[in-house]
Structure 1
């Protein structure tokens, strides 16, 4: 499975909504649980970056709103 090299090689302040969507779109409907976890982990990294003492970063609001809702699987 290809890795999300588009995000791995970038600084957090260089990541735009388009980059996140490029990672999530291929798996959003085919592997919703994996996509949800990836989205959550990306969010954790953004949250950490915002809370760190480093200079402020620019984040595009609503990055996940561009993706359709997926059914929640309860296993």
Structure 2
């Protein structure tokens, strides 16, 4: 199974931590970007391969994870 290449925008990519062999990146990208494919491509370019072990979406559009309401808060709001 292989995805067809498509044009995406990587607006920002930054190393958050590097503790060999683990590398943690922060990526700001356009919709449709496959982060797993980006990780694979980076490993291929470095000649070492790579595996994505964790993926956290912190924002989608104007919605930010830090502004999210937890399940328990929702239960309390609807119970009142």
Q: Same fold (TM over 0.5)?
A: no
User: Bigger radius of gyration, 1 or 2?
Assistant: 2
Larger strand fraction of residues: 2
Q: Could you say which structure has the higher helix fraction?
A: 1
Instruction: Indicate the structure whose relative CO is greater, using CA pairs within 8 Å and at least 6 residues apart.
Output: 1
